[in-house]
Structures are given as structure tokens and as C-alpha cells.
Amino acid sequence: MAKDLMPKSWKEFPDGIHVEVKDQPQGFDYITAGWRTFRPEVNLDKCVHCMICWLVCPDNAVVVEDGKMTGFFYDHCKGCGVCANECPVKAIEMVPEVK
Amino acid sequence: MGKKIAMETNQLAAFAMAQIDPDVVAAYPITPSTEVVQEFSKYVANGEVTTEFVPVESEHSAISACLGAATAGARVMTATASQGLALMNEILHIASSARAPISVVVASRALSGPINIHGDHMDISSIRDAGWIIMVAEDAQEAYDNIIQSIPIAERAKFPIITSYDGFITSHAVEVAEVLEKEEVQKFIGPKKPDYSVFDEKLTIGVLALQDSYIEFKRKQAADYDKVIDIVKEVGKEYGDLTGRYYDTVEKYMTDDAEVIMVAMGSTAGTAKVVVDQMRAEGHKVGLLKIRLFRPVPKDDIIGVLRTADAVMIMDRAYTYGGVGGPLFEEISAAMNDLPCRPYMANYIYGLGGRDIKPSHIRQVFEDGLKAVKGCGFDQQIKWITVRE
């Protein structure tokens, strides 16, 4: 859990497994992307902001600001490539994770 | 005084569900609970309820659909038994940690194998650690009453609930029960007020919590789960004020001055009451403690009754392989450890797979207890009865 969201006592934890989304889409600052072999990269010149990538992303890893797609949360993206496959204008490319 | 009707308990359960009129029922049939959803689907087809009925392809899907609907804020019910409940197991844990107040009717049945469709408590016992509230009814009347009460209990406690009754022995028995009018039920349960909803875009539901926070989520869940006991009592009293039938976590039957107390759950409690009456008439000080709330264990209520007994006979219609006796015996023995001076305690495993337990068997158990009190305890602490020796 994000350090600034972490309650001081268990008594203040939520009644359930739901938390409020702040900066991070999962409400936590865990890095859950360590096993990615390809990462999506977006060409914003081609992007038409249709939000299909945001809709299909299984990990809430698409960053949207003011109704515009602006990039990816790479700490959460697992590199599954669904966004690149579904993008109607081929604005997303899967790039190998090499140095 | 309410209206009296004669129905099979399964049909009565469907009748209770129709009076509750849940928003969503997602179900997959399994004996001996099939009739519950079969009958309920008729209420749906006849337009007598507003429920969205979702027929699915397995119990895993049934409880998953229920959980999804519950996180959307719906009032949700289903019914299952035995292997069907076992197949739900994975999602049961998520539902309880998500505090989804789903109400599930279970006609308790043996777990295979060998394949057996008859009544025992192995299914509800095998999921006792899933964080659900589990209530067990003695007869049709209590089954109906428990199902109605399950809604306010689950929604106040913010935990899912199972209300069970014995498969076939109770589920397929026609009994007379006093029922409420639908309007009275609706007034008693009130409208659903969801605590949170998946439609709230500020929330993420089903979070990941690792070494830094998982244990705090669980500590909170455990503390809130303990509060269920008081909520069961509170709702049992309110229901009594409405119907005249008051309920507690346990039911005492001639226990106040009893030397030997039997502890039993489900339909066996009814048989035991008959034997208690007979033996009392013969001058034996025997009594019965019926467990209505199986989970969470109403520890203080149990100790309060059993502490003055000389011998306690705990009846388990289930077994924990390699455990110290059956599930009720394990829990009650652990609870009684708080006492400085404990009664003799013995465990009887009986009636698995629907094997009959007769008044003669129960009388024998009481006689074992009376003998233990006169002598010095039991030769054998854990005994299987109603079995070919």
C-alpha cells in the first residue's frame, strides 16, 4: 500500500478489500511488472484517444488524463500486448525489454 | 399469529427467498438443494419476484456471479450443497474478505466419496474457516426463520452467510410452518443499503496486499467477524418481537439443572429433545444444548451452559480426518479450556451419509454420560456410533 495511504493501526483498515484510488490505479505502490519481456509504447501522433486500450487493459496500466491517453503505468503493465493488438490505428508497438 | 402452511422444507426455503425478493439469484442445481432454486425459478417465471435469475454452468460460476452482483450493491442469494459448496470454496474466501453479504441456503449433505446424496454436516464443516457466518436449523420452521433473518444479519455484520438444514432428513420433509406475509418480511429486512459499489469510480475492489499490509486486513476481518455473535442475538430478538419465535446463538433445553448435557446440531436436536423428555420423566437429569450458530463459535454462550454439567456429550455428524474428534468437539473442547474445572467430555461421530440416528442411540449416549458421572469418566473419549462394529 502506498506509504501515505497506510493507516497506523489495523483498526483503521477498510471493511473489505476495496481501497480508494489515489495516484496509483491499484491503490498501492507495489511494482508488479518484473516479469515483462515486451513493453507497450504509444505513438501519440497516431493515437485517436478512443480509450479501447484503457478498456481492454487487464491491469489498469493505461494512464488517462483529461480524457486523453497519455502513456502507461510501467510498474503495473505485464506486457501482455492486448492493447497493441486491439488498437484500431496501430499506435501501440510492443518493444522488447532489452538494455 | 401468522399463517400456517405445510410444505417441504426446500419449497419453504424458496418461498422465503421469494418473500425476500433478492435483486440477483445465480444458481446451479445440486441434490438435495435443487428444489430450492427450481421452485424459486417458478416465482421468477410467474413474475412474482423482481429477481434477475442467472442460471450458470457450475457452482464456482454461481458464487462468482453472486459476488459480482454483491459488489455492485445488489441483495444476492443462492442455494447449494455438498460438492457444490466445495466447488465454491475458492470464491467463498474472497466473498467474506470483500464483506459481501450474500445469503446462501445449504441443504447439508455428505461429501463424496463414496457418492452419497444424503444428509450430514461434512459440507458446512469443510468450509468453516472461509469466514462465512454459518447457521444450522433443526426443522422447517427454523429453516424459514433463519433464511429471513439471514438478510439483516449478513447486511449488518457485513459478512456472507450460510443458513443450512439437514439434506433429505429436513430438506425433503413436509412440515407445518408459520410464515409471515411478504410485506412483513420486506419491512423486517428493509431496503438494501450497500456499503460500497463497484460503480464508485474512486474505488478499486479486490486489492493486492502483500507483506506490508495483508495481516492488517485479516486482523480487521477477524475482529469484525467476532461481532457477528451479538448481531445474531440482536436480529434473533427483533425477529422474536415480530413473530413470537425468539432465537439465540444456542438453544437450551432443560440444561439448567442437568448433570449430563448433550450438544447437537441440526435435525438430531429434535430427536434428542424427545429423549430428554422421556429420560426426565424417569428422573434422570439430562439436557440438550442445540448449536444454532456454528460459525463464529458462540464460545461464551456455550461455556455458560456447559460449565455446570458433570458430563458433556458432543454429537458430530461430521469428522475431521486425523483431528481430535469431530468439528464441534474440537471447538467446544478448546472453548472449555478456559474453565479451571471442566466436566467430563466425550465425542460421538454419528449419522454420516444420512445414516439414521434413533432415540435408542441418543438414549445410549445419555446413559454413557450418566455412567461416567457415577464412575470416573469415559473409557473412550471419541466414539463412532450408528456404525457396524
CATH 3.40.50.970 intervals, chain B: 3-243
Asked whether residue A23 falls in the same domain as residue A46, the answer is: no
Asked whether residue A24 falls in the same domain as residue A49, the answer is: no
Q: B213 and A6 in contact by Cβ < 8 A?
A: yes
Chain A residues lying within 8 Å of B220, measured CB to CB: 10-11, 13-15
Asked whether residue A37 falls in the same domain as residue A21, the answer is: no
Asked whether residue A17 falls in the same domain as residue A45, the answer is: no
Contact between B276 and B319 under an 8 Å Cβ cutoff? The reply is no
Q: B217 and A7 in contact by Cβ < 8 A?
A: no
Global confidence as pTM: 0.92
Asked whether residue A23 falls in the same domain as residue A66, the answer is: no
Asked whether residue A84 falls in the same domain as residue A43, the answer is: yes
Cell of B41: 425459478
Q: CA–CA separation, B189 vs B42, rounded Å?
A: 23
Strand-pairing partners, residue B104, are B78, B162
Q: Is B226 on the interface with A (CB under 8 A)?
A: no
Which CATH architecture best describes the domain B3-243? 3-Layer(aba) Sandwich (3.40)
Contact between B141 and B177 under an 8 Å Cβ cutoff? The reply is yes
| Pairing between β-strand B260-264 and β-strand B311-316 as defined by DSSP bridges | parallel
Cβ atoms < 10 Å from Cβ of B89: 14
Q: A28 and B207 in contact by Cβ < 8 A?
A: yes
SS3 B274: helix
For residue A1, is pLDDT > 90? Answer: no
A17, A20, A25 member nearest B217 (Cβ):
A17
Of 3.90.330.10, 1.10.3470.10, 3.40.50.920, 3.40.50.1220, which CATH number belongs to B250-384?
3.40.50.920
Q: Which of B5, B2, B16 is nearest to B144 (CA)?
A: B16
Q: CA–CA separation, B158 vs B165, rounded Å?
A: 23
Q: CA–CA separation, B166 vs B354, rounded Å?
A: 9
- The residues, any chain, with a CB within 8 Å of residue B212's CB and separated by 6 or more, are A1, A6
pLDDT tens for each residue of chain B, 389 residues long: 689 999 999 999 999 999 999 999 999 999 999 999 999 999 999 999 999 999 999 999 999 999 999 999 999 999 999 999 999 999 999 999 999 999 999 999 999 999 999 999 999 999 999 999 999 999 999 999 999 999 999 999 999 999 999 999 999 999 999 999 999 999 999 999 998 888 887 788 888 888 888 999 999 999 999 999 999 999 999 999 999 999 999 999 999 999 999 999 999 999 999 999 999 999 999 999 999 999 999 999 999 999 999 999 999 999 999 999 999 999 999 999 989 999 999 999 999 999 999 999 999 999 999 999 998 889 899 999 999 99
Asked whether residue A78 falls in the same domain as residue A40, the answer is: yes
Alpha-helical runs (H) found in chain A: 52-56, 82-86
- Domain range spanning residue A5? 1-30
Phi-psi region of B6 (alpha: psi -120 to 50; beta: other; left: phi over 0): beta
Looking at per-residue confidence, does A33 or B295 come out higher?
A: B295
How many Cα atoms are found within 13 Å in the side-chain-facing hemisphere of B155? 22
Asked whether residue A76 falls in the same domain as residue A46, the answer is: yes
Q: CA–CA separation, B70 vs B275, rounded Å?
A: 44
Q: Is B224 on the interface with A (CB under 8 A)?
A: yes
Alpha-helical runs (H) found in chain B: 9-20, 34-45, 59-71, 82-97, 122-126, 140-157, 182-189, 214-226, 228-243, 268-281, 299-306, 327-336, 359-374
Residue the block writes with cell 474466501 = B93
User: Is the ipTM here above 0.90?
Assistant: no
SS3 B242: helix
Q: Which of B203, B246, B10 is nearest to B106 (CA)?
A: B10
SS3 B352: helix
Using CA atoms of B366, B370, B375, B380 in order, give the dihedral in degrees to the nearest 10: 10
Domain count, chain A: 2
Q: What is the CATH number of the domain that holds A80?
A: 3.30.70.20
Q: Reply yes or no: is the peptide bond before residue B32 cis, omega within 30 of 0.
A: yes
Confidence of residue A4 (pLDDT cuts 50, 70, 90): low
A residues 80..99 contacting B (CB < 8 A)? none
Kindly state the average pLDDT of the residues A39-56: 96
For residue A59, is pLDDT > 90? Answer: no
Strand-pairing partners, residue B163, are B105, B135
| Pairing between β-strand B161-166 and β-strand B103-108 as defined by DSSP bridges | parallel
B96: nearest CA in chain A?
A16
Q: Is B128 on the interface with A (CB under 8 A)?
A: no
Which residue type is seen at A38? F
Asked whether residue A20 falls in the same domain as residue A59, the answer is: no
Asked whether residue A38 falls in the same domain as residue A18, the answer is: no
Asked whether residue A26 falls in the same domain as residue A36, the answer is: no
B98, B208, B220 member nearest A13 (Cβ):
B220
pLDDT of residue B208: 83
Q: Which residues of B28-58 are buried (b: 16+ CB within 10 A; e: fewer)?
A: bbbbbbbbbbebbbebbeeeebebebbebee
CATH 3.40.50.920 intervals, chain B: 250-384
